Amino acid sequence: MEGNVTVQTNELFLKKKKEMQKERRNLFIRRFLSNKMAVIGSIILTFLGLTAILAPVLTSFTPYEMVAANRLQPPSAEHWFGTDNFGRDIFSRVLYGSQVSLAVGLSVALATSIIGMVVGLLAAYYRLLDHILMRICDGLMAFPAILLAIAIVAVLGPHPVNVVIALTVVKSPEVARVVRSAALVIKEQTYIEALKAQGASAMRIIFMHITPNTVSPLIIQVTYVFAIAIIIEAALSFLGAGIPAPHPSWGNILYDGKTVIFSAWWMTIFPGICIILAVLGLNLFGDGLRDLLDPHTNKANK
């Protein structure tokens, strides 16, 4: 009899918990939808992501096929964005280029989150380590991101993976700092003290109890890192030090387009619009998320 009651209250408790979770999720979705910036940002990003994935369906041209007779054609019904100085279809180069640009951006965002998270948490928890790690971060942050990236790629050689490595080195300290400062606040809370008193191990406290509270600032920061990675990748490729030709990337198309800027505006305008859309989408999404998740630091929108 007694056991039965416990089971019932347990079930009741679980049911209530589920309801509350659902309610909270619905509230978050409602707040997200009422945040114009976040919604517009995610629409732009979804659109770009879909066109990148569906590139083979959306265009019948390959980004590499050169047709000498079709050199520098302005936009037409057949070639929506025109053709370049080798007679390649710009529309398909822009679409396949967005695969490269977004993949580089996403890889950098993931890599910097992981490295930044681990470094930031360890620095926040261990005093001695903090001094060493933060001085290294300060040193790395003293380099203008784009210059250090240029130098690293110049030495390693132009290859998409090297671009990702360079950008990760350059941007991880920034993420680490954000995670560290969030973690420092959490570390002083009473519940962490209670956990220590109970004898919880350091790793358990760091990764089970501090980490979840640093996720929001991390995600916000990484959104901006994503945007900057796209900009720097485009700049590197534009300088001829990023994704090697003939692979399409937004920066490469701009690089090819610069030599013929007098006769072929379409080679600058279309990849340019894509870069602006991607960066704008990420910035809007980031600002929107910041409003949603972190009302304290919301200064831009007061």
Q: How far is the CB of 210 from another protein (least distance, A)?
A: 26
Q: How far is residue 268's CA from residue 72's CA, in Å, rounded to a whole number?
A: 12
Residues paired with residue 83 on neighbouring β-strands, in sequence order? 89
Could you tell me the smallest distance in angstroms from the CB atom of residue 275 to another protein? 6
Q: Is 235 in the site for another protein (CB under 8 A)?
A: yes
By CB under 8 A, tell whether 127 contacts another protein. no
SS3 label, residue 33 = helix
- Output the six-digit token pair for 274: 């894509």
Q: How far is the CB of 235 from another protein (least distance, A)?
A: 5
Per CB under 8 A, 239 contacts another protein = yes
Among 90, 205, 275, 289, binds another protein (CB under 8 A): 275
Rounded least distance, CB 79 to another protein, Å: 20
- DSSP-derived letter for residue 263 is T
Contacting another protein (CB under 8 A), which of 146, 184, 195, 219?
A: 146
Helices (H), 142-265: 145-156, 160-187, 190-198, 202-204, 211-238, 250-259
Does position 154 interact with another protein (CB under 8 A)? The reply is yes
Residue of 52, 94, 122, 234 interacting with another protein (CB under 8 A) = 234
Q: Please select the residue that binds another protein; options are 254, 270, 285, 288, rule is CB under 8 A.
A: 254
Angle (CA) 172-146-283 rounded to 5° is 70
Single-letter amino acid code for the residue at 29 = I
> DSSP state, 205?
I
- Quickly count: other Cβ atoms within 10 Å of residue 233's Cβ: 30
Choose, by CB under 8 A, the member of 140, 215, 219, 293 that binds another protein. 140
- The residue assigned the tokens 């990675």 is 229
261 binds another protein (CB under 8 A): yes
Which residues lie across from 89 on neighbouring strands?
83
Residue 39 binding another protein, by CB under 8 A: no
Q: How far is the CB of 120 from another protein (least distance, A)?
A: 17
Task: Find out whether the peptide bond into 246 is cis, omega within 30 degrees of 0.
Answer: yes
- List Cα–Cα distances, 62 to 1, 31, 66, 123, in angstroms: 72, 42, 9, 48
51 Cβ contact list (under 8 Å, min separation 6) = 58, 95, 98
Q: Which of residues 203-232 bind another protein (CB under 8 A)?
A: 227, 231
Among 144, 161, 189, 212, indicate the residue that binds another protein (CB under 8 A): 144
Q: According to CB under 8 A, which one of 22, 25, 135, 204 is a site residue for another protein?
A: 135
Footprint on this chain of another protein (rule: CB under 8 A): 135-136, 138-140, 142-148, 150-152, 154-157, 227, 231, 234-235, 238-241, 254, 257-258, 261-262, 265, 268-269, 272, 275-276, 279-280, 283-284, 287, 299-300, 302
